Amino acid sequence: MAPKISKADKKIAYDQKLCQLLDEYTQVLVAAADNVGSTQLQNIRRGLRGDSVVLMGKNTMMKRSIRIHAEKTGNNTILNLIPLLVGNVGLIFTKGDLKEVSEEVAKYKVGAPARVGLVAPIDVIVPPGNTGLDPSQTSFFQVLNIPTKINKGTVEIITPVELIKKGDKVGSSEAALLLKLGIRPFSYGLVVLSVYDNGSVFSPEVLDLTEDDLIEKFAMGVSMVTSLSLAISYPTLAAAPHMFINAFKNVLAVALETDYSFPQADKVKEYLADPSKFAVTAAPVAAGDPGSAPAAAGGAKEEEKKEEPAEEPDDDMGFSLFD
């Protein structure tokens, strides 16, 4: 018979395992494990086997091991895990893609009945329809103010009823009714609360961001920096092109109103003095389009046709209206 392992030996073994994982992995998912059974946890471990390790334990023991390991190794970044160890949580150490691991963990959710005293994580709505219960069971429905009728010897719910609201505790009557109807309204599994990556801690919602989302947010940030820089006249890399253009417009306006000039202003003054030169300059650009010449010619002919006045017949007085 194998000797029984003492509690002290178990704590030492647990501490060694946690320290080994902290040295080996730089990515950790902190997940809530409320109402997760041992069988369900084994299925999760089996699904993550290969590049991830799930470690459960008491928060005080994990915090103590992390502090001691940080002092020994000088790796103070792992201390950022300590504030995350609140409630019934576990650590998922991984070398894989954080988003893929989080999605894999979310797959292992199982339905659970509504137990008395449990806080409802979602709203529970009983759908209308035949319940299959005999008329003697109507007392459950009457207590909960659920409208029913007797149809073909069974109780039928007339309208959908919100039986339990999110955040409310499940009562004995609600739990008994849901059990009789065979409804398992809740589903439980490991829920990722926080993500630790090389000392950085962030929300799991960040994992859902795509490259398009990042580009959009970056462009929005650049736009805000540019607007602020232009408003307070503070030069930044984002605002520099706009500042140069605005400065050129101001200098050009001064040159046009005064005798001061420079090469770019001379050209503008020349166009303003004789607008026909601008039309001559723009004409070769239009002519450069191979399809534009025939179309322009055709358009000119149509305009000529439209401009030709229609001949009016002579009236009785012997002269034309256009003479």
pLDDT recorded at residue 178: 85
143-159 pLDDT, tens per residue?
878 888 888 888 888 88
Tokens of 184: 């398992």
* C-alpha of 125 from chain center: 28
| Cβ atoms of residues 93 and 21 within 8 Å | yes
- For residue 261, report the phi and psi dihedrals to the nearest 5 degrees: -150, 165
Q: Cα(79)–Cα(71) distance, rounded to whole angstroms?
A: 10
By percentage, how much of the chain surpasses pLDDT 70? Answer: 85
Contacts of 73 (CB under 8 A, 6+ apart): 23
* 282/299: higher pLDDT: 282
Q: Over 60: is that where the pLDDT of 320 sits?
A: no
Query: pLDDT tier at 234 (50, 70, 90 boundaries)?
Result: confident
Q: What is the pTM of this model?
A: 0.60
Q: What are phi and psi of 151, to 5 degrees?
A: -130, 115
Predicted confidence at residue 290, as pLDDT, reads 52
pLDDT at 313: 44
> 66-70, 137-141, 250-254, 298-302: lowest mean pLDDT where?
298-302
**pLDDT value of residue 195:** 92
When pLDDT is averaged across residues 28-43 and rounded to a whole number, the result is: 87
